[in-house]
């Protein structure tokens, strides 16, 4: 099995968390449920097989998206087929990071997947062919970095109010409310929500809730024993029922089921 990550330098660093390459994933289970983290991603299958995304409520239902897909920022879980992890290349964006690379507002991609061919047309075929022709993984990372810079259709910047909110929602989701952000940035509530939704993809409150959920996952991932009451309090939930309701709505599992099924990958939970 080969798994490599690469964090690109400026000007992409603010917008791209990493490029990643995965080959030869062990087939210990057929499907994985992925937890929402509010971050968009691009997935390119380097095998000639369309990418399939499954409905977590009915694994008999799936959508097919060709050989490359933009997976929008999520507030709900989704399911992938592990057979399609045989040889895959990905771009993991920072929150709001896909905004400079597409003419369509990020809100159009929220909780959905779009065939990359519909957005980048022939450019995505060029990128995939060059990835396949690359002599090594480092070469893949280099060419993707150059490609993505050329692909930008907007300046490499977000609105300052959006950047401020993202920083605080990610660092302190259990402490920084939308109202507290508004007190600091001097925008009306309506204007801030519009800007944030267009550039990040999720509404501010929804994004902040997802980040609080991610804080929970980081605290409990592979931990033992877990004091769930302490976790709930530390992460800003006002009672245990509120905590469990949020956890189930974002993950599709109860907290204890997630803990029992957790693997080394924070946001991947094996299903069948």
Residue 97 is part of which domain span?
2-151
Structure confidence by residue, pLDDT tens digits, 32-81: 999 999 999 999 999 999 999 999 999 999 999 999 999 999 999 999 98
Is 37 within 8 Å of 78 (Cβ atoms)? no
Query: Are 136 and 175 within one domain?
Result: no
DSSP state of 28: S
216 shares a domain with 198: yes
The answer to whether 267 touches 215, Cβ cutoff 8 Å, is no
Q: Find all residues with CB under 8 Å of 230, minimum gap 6, and list them.
A: none
State pLDDT tens for residues 82-121: 877 789 999 999 999 999 999 999 999 999 999 999 999 8
Domain check: are 196 and 231 in the same one?
yes
Q: Are residues 131 and 229 in the same domain?
A: no
Q: Which of 15, 73, 104 is nearest to 200 (CA)?
A: 73
Q: State whether 10 and 125 are in the same domain.
A: yes
* pLDDT recorded at residue 40: 98
Give me the number of domains the chain comprises: 2
Enter the DSSP assignment of 35: P
* Residues 267, 29: Cα–Cα separation, whole Å: 15
pLDDT in tens, 198-251: 999 999 999 999 999 999 999 998 888 999 999 999 999 988 999 999 999 999
Kindly report the CATH number assigned to the domain that includes residue 265: 1.10.10.60
Answer yes or no: are the C-beta atoms of 101 and 156 closer than 8 Å: no
* 3-class secondary structure, 11: coil
The pLDDT of residue 45 is: 96
Tokens found for residue 195: 């800007």
Does position 25 have pLDDT exceeding 80, yes or no?
A: no
Q: What is the pTM of this model?
A: 0.94
């Amino acid at each position: 099995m080969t798994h490599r990550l690469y964090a690109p330098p400026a000007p992409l660093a603010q917008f791209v968390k990493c490029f990643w390459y995965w080959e030869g994933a062990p087939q210990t289970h057929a499907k994985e449920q992925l937890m929402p983290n509010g971050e968009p991603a691009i997935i390119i299958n380097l095998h000639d097989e369309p990418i399939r995304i499954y409905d977590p409520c009915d694994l008999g239902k799936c959508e097919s998206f060709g050989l490359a897909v933009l997976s929008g920022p999520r507030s709900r879980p989704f399911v992938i087929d592990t057979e399609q992890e045989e040889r895959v290349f990905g771009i993991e964006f920072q929150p709001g990071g896909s905004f400079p690379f597409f003419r369509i507002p990020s809100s159009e991609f929220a909780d959905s997947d779009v065939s990359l061919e519909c957005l980048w047309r022939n450019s995505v075929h060029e990128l995939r062919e060059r990835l396949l022709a690359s002599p090594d993984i480092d070469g893949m990372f280099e060419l993707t970095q150059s490609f993505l810079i050329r692909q930008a259709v907007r300046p490499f910047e977000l609105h300052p109010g959006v950047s401020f909110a993202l920083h605080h929602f990610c660092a302190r989701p259990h402490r920084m409310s939308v109202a507290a952000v508004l007190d600091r940035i001097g925008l009306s509530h309506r204007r801030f929500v519009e800007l944030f939704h267009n550039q990040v993809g999720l509404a501010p409150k929804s994004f902040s809730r997802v980040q609080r959920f991610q804080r929970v996952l980081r605290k409990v991932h592979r931990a033992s024993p877990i004091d769930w009451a302490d976790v709930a309090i530390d992460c800003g939930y006002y009672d245990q029922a509120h905590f469990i309701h949020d956890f189930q709505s974002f993950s599709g599992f109860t907290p204890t089921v997630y803990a029992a099924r957790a693997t080394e990958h924070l946001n991947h939970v094996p299903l069948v």
